[in-house]
């Protein structure tokens, strides 16, 4: 079946316009993502506020700097497995913190330590004072995922923090967010992350830092859609030339 040149041109223009619209939509999404990243970055460098002063909306609390004070429950701490740092395998130590006058405990990511298998570490070497205080940023629990959350061989090892799953483990209610401690006067900044703690009073694991803001794949998608628009026009021109 032959297609008239005008119909072919119209079809190519419509397709190109559709792809171009998708490209600009992806650039719009990129702008929204950058605005959100700027907002989160400003929260991460703002002065720390008491944890009780956080907004109830976890999205509004995300990345805000907070001050936490309470008692660590070392008997129930867990590990986030397979966490690399500077190319070395390790784990993040996550310890529940009980706060005075509050029945809700907050999970606190105290820091990262080296673990050759990325799963096992002697937690007794990394116990700080039971009465603790520090500052960090608020993280939100990830959305539900499909897959094995915990290790079948290590009862306290988890691949990610699933609040609903973790709530079954603890006898107290968990806050709808967790706190990641960052480097400061109370952090073991001088301890090389790839070494075990020396025979001294330094038992605080090396703290973490605010992760870099990811802009997502929106720019790549926009370039892809614009390329498809160009291909439709060029393809139409080559086809008409052959005819």
Domain ranges of the chain: 5-40+216-242, 64-181
Task: Report the pLDDT averaged over residues 133-152.
Answer: 81
Pairing of strands 157-158, 78-80: parallel
pLDDT in tens, 175-188: 999 999 987 543 33
pLDDT at 114: 93
Please write the tens of the pLDDT for every residue from 97-115: 998 888 888 999 999 999 9
């Amino acid at each position: 079946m032959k297609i008239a040149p005008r119909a072919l041109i119209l079809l190519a223009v419509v397709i190109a316009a559709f792809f171009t619209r998708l490209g600009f939509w992806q650039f719009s999404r990129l702008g929204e993502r950058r605005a959100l990243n700027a907002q989160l970055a400003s929260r991460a460098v703002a002065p720390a506020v008491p944890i009780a002063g956080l907004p109830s909306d976890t999205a509004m609390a995300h990345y805000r700097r907070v001050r936490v004070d309470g008692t660590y429950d070392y008997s129930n701490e867990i590990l986030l497995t397979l966490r690399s740092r500077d190319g070395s395998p390790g784990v993040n130590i996550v310890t529940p913190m009980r706060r005075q006058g509050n029945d809700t405990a907050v999970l606190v990511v105290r820091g990262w330590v080296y673990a050759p298998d990325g799963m096992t570490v002697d937690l007794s070497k990394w116990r700080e004072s039971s009465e603790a205080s520090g500052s960090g940023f608020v993280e939100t629990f990830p959305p539900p995922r499909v897959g094995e959350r915990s290790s079948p061989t290590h009862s306290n090892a988890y691949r990610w923090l699933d609040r609903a799953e973790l709530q079954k483990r603890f006898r107290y209610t968990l806050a709808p967010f967790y706190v990641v401690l960052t480097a400061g006067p109370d952090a073991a900044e001088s301890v090389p992350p790839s070494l075990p703690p020396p025979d001294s009073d330094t038992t605080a694991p090396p703290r973490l830092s605010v992760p870099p803001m990811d802009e997502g794949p929106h720019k790549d998608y926009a370039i892809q859609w614009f390329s498809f628009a160009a291909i439709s026009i060029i393809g139409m021109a080559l086809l008409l030339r052959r005819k």
